[in-house]
Amino acid sequence: MSVTKPDNKVSIEVVIEFLHQLQDQICQALENSDGQAKFVEDNWKRPGGGGGRTRVMTNGAVIEQGGVNFSHVFGDQMPASATAHRPELEGRSWQACGVSLVIHPNNPHIPTSHANVRFFIAEKEGEAPVWWFGGGFDLTPFYPVEQDVIHWHQTAFDICKPFGEKVYSDYKKWCDEYFYLKHRDETRGVGGLFFDDLNQWGFDKSFEFMQTVGLGFIDAYVPIVERNKSTEYSEAQRQFQLYRRGRYVEFNLVFDRGTLFGLQTGGRTESILMSMPPLARWEYNFQPAEDSLEANLYQRYLKPQDWLSLEN
């Protein structure tokens, strides 16, 4: 994949060019892995400015429902969700673009996964633009396989290493802290990478990192899908998957800043809530059986830890 090099000039056009290509490449990789279903594209426009192309796959051989969305939206005034944390953005016009995806597989032995890469810029005549990159990816297993979790984090480590010795540890920690359900006192899954407000490296290097994270999702996730898609499962395991999907819903509707930003900026609701699973359930005071695979998820995997140290 190649895009025109911006020579450290802040350019949303070159970011959009890359994001279009990234959406295409991720969709193709997931279609190849599913082997049956195809993504259906839905182009939309935002009344306040901008639009996007939503791509959704349903009822696949592997993927029960998944979406890979591109959006580019803009406006004259920032929403409250942005200016509350960044008061310097008040009175500026803004643009935001990104690719966001969530994959909900059929098989409980394949983790749900989320990834997002994005760029934001706010401008005001006579002043320097305020801009940053953000993104990351995280993994939400139901019946975790240690090898898969190590592979996921090793891929994240390899992505970060050329950009600095502490980048992986810092962005892993940020991911563990961000994808945390305070009211449940548990992480959403086994983490990955999360970064935001990235501009301190300058445009070129920051953009390069965003590209590497976006493309790295394919290398991180597809091998896990391939290793587990033929694993047999029981109806009880399917029901546990649906129960744990409820946690995913809780996080996205209660804590996720991207969901809040999209709704407050008048984004397309169907595309924003594409991240919801097609089926989920809740059960009062569920307690996993002692020494069960379900208990192992809670006791070992829903706690931040150094997964790469397990290889030593």
Flag whether 85 is marked binding. no
The beta strand positions in 76-141, using DSSP E, are: 93-105, 112-123, 130-140
> Is residue 309 assigned to a domain?
no
> Is residue 47 assigned to a domain?
yes
Flag whether 227 is marked binding. no
Flag whether 72 is marked binding. no
Q: What gap in Å lies between CA 57 and CA 277, rounded to an integer? A: 12
- The pair of structure tokens assigned to 291 is 């020494």
Residues 156-185 have pLDDT tens digits of 999 999 999 999 999 999 999 999 999 999
Residues 255-293 have pLDDT tens digits of 888 788 778 777 788 888 888 999 999 999 999 999 999
> Is residue 295 assigned to a domain?
yes
Residues 109-158 have pLDDT tens digits of 999 999 999 999 998 888 888 999 999 999 999 999 999 999 999 999 99
Beta bridge partners of 96: 73, 120
Question: Looking at residue 23, which CATH number applies to its domain?
Answer: 3.40.1500.10
Flag whether 109 is marked binding. no
Number of Cβ atoms within 10 Å of the Cβ of 301: 22
| Triad 265, 269, 272: Cα angle to 5° | 85
Catalytic (active-site) positions: 114
Contact, 48 vs 71, CB < 8 A?
A: no
Flag whether 116 is marked binding. yes
Which range marks the domain in which residue 21 is found? 12-301
The Cα-based distances of 295 to 132, 142, 173, 301 in angstroms read: 40, 11, 24, 10
Total structural domains within the chain: 1
Q: What is the pLDDT of residue 78?
A: 73
